[in-house]
Amino acid sequence: SNILKQIQENLLLQKKSFAVLIDPDKVETGKMTAILNRLPEETDFIFVGGSTVENHKTDLVVKAIKASSNLPIILFHGNVNQISSFADAILFLSLMSGDNPEYLIHQQVKSVKHLKRTALEIIPTGYILIDGGKTCTTERVTETKAIPQTEVEKTVDVALAAQYAGKQLIYLEAGSSARYLVHPRIIKAVKAQVDLPLIVGGGIRTKDQRKSAYRAGADMVVMGTAFEKYIE
């Protein structure tokens, strides 16, 4: 119950935060210390997850991160096999931009038997996929369509529905390596009407892009691929 509290406090203090996403499939656990040494110093959270990670790899990676970093580890899991009890928290995602019951509720139900055996902090999160200009893995895996960038009002409605449903975080996602980031106009519109902490990610590479997301109202920005490139 500490991590959500921290994020909520950051919201009240208008303190922006930064998360780096590590895909267990794309790192060697033996090199973890070196990898973590290259984390930007402003990193507040480490997200761990990917679309196609095999069983147990997540455990290994989370343990390796724990061994050389004190940053909170938040699972951002593509499926139930990626639940590791060694992390601190899990984004309990509901893909609310799409209409596939598997990712609205069935995956959540399947994860319960794993979660019951862990002490992970569970953070109810409304996950909203915005069109990033190319078919992203999330769309492919979940067989859902992202919301077009032009449909700002619909995006706001989805985010508000998530808030009314009791989600504690809103995550606007343009997809990994998105060609177009979530437009500031969308971030701004959601921020204006939703009271929850707002996470934005997908395709963000530069500090300027990060800044523009913050300026539009993102409370937390997530960077994955750009960090991977950096550690190669």
Classify each residue of 110-146 as buried b or exposed e, where b means 16 or more C-beta atoms within 10 Å of its C-beta.
ebeebbeeeebbbbbbbbbbbbbeeebebbeebebeb
Q: Give the pair of three-digit tokens for residue 45.
A: 């959270």
137 contacts ligand 1GP (rule: CB under 6 A): no
51 contacts ligand 1GP (rule: CB under 6 A): no
3 contacts ligand 1GP (rule: CB under 6 A): no
CB of 77 to ligand 1GP, least distance (A): 12
Distance CA 231, CA 225 (A): 10
Report the SS3 class of residue 204. Answer: coil
50 contacts ligand 1GP (rule: CB under 6 A): no
Determine the size of the site formed for ligand 1GP (CB under 6 A): 14
Would you say 21 or 96 has its CB closer to ligand 1GP?
21
> 26 near 227, Cβ under 8 Å?
no
Spatial CA neighbour of 29 closest among 60, 2, 74: 60
Residue 225 φ/ψ, nearest 5 degrees: -55, -45
- Over the window 164 to 193, marking each residue x when it contacts ligand 1GP by CB under 6 A and - when it does not, the resulting string is ---------x--xxx---------------
Distance CA 15, CA 17 (A): 6
CB-facing half-sphere around the CA of 108: CA atoms within 13 A: 17
Would you say 49 or 84 has its CB closer to ligand 1GP?
49
Distance CA 152, CA 125 (A): 20
CB of 113 to ligand 1GP, least distance (A): 26
Would you say 164 or 181 has its CB closer to ligand 1GP?
181
- Which 12-41 positions form the footprint of ligand 1GP (CB under 6 A)? 21
Would you say 24 or 202 has its CB closer to ligand 1GP?
202
- Which 196-225 positions form the footprint of ligand 1GP (CB under 6 A)? 201-204, 222-225
- Over the window 65 to 94, marking each residue x when it contacts ligand 1GP by CB under 6 A and - when it does not, the resulting string is ------------------------------
**Could you list the residues that contact ligand 1GP (CB under 6 A)?**
21, 173, 176-178, 201-204, 222-226
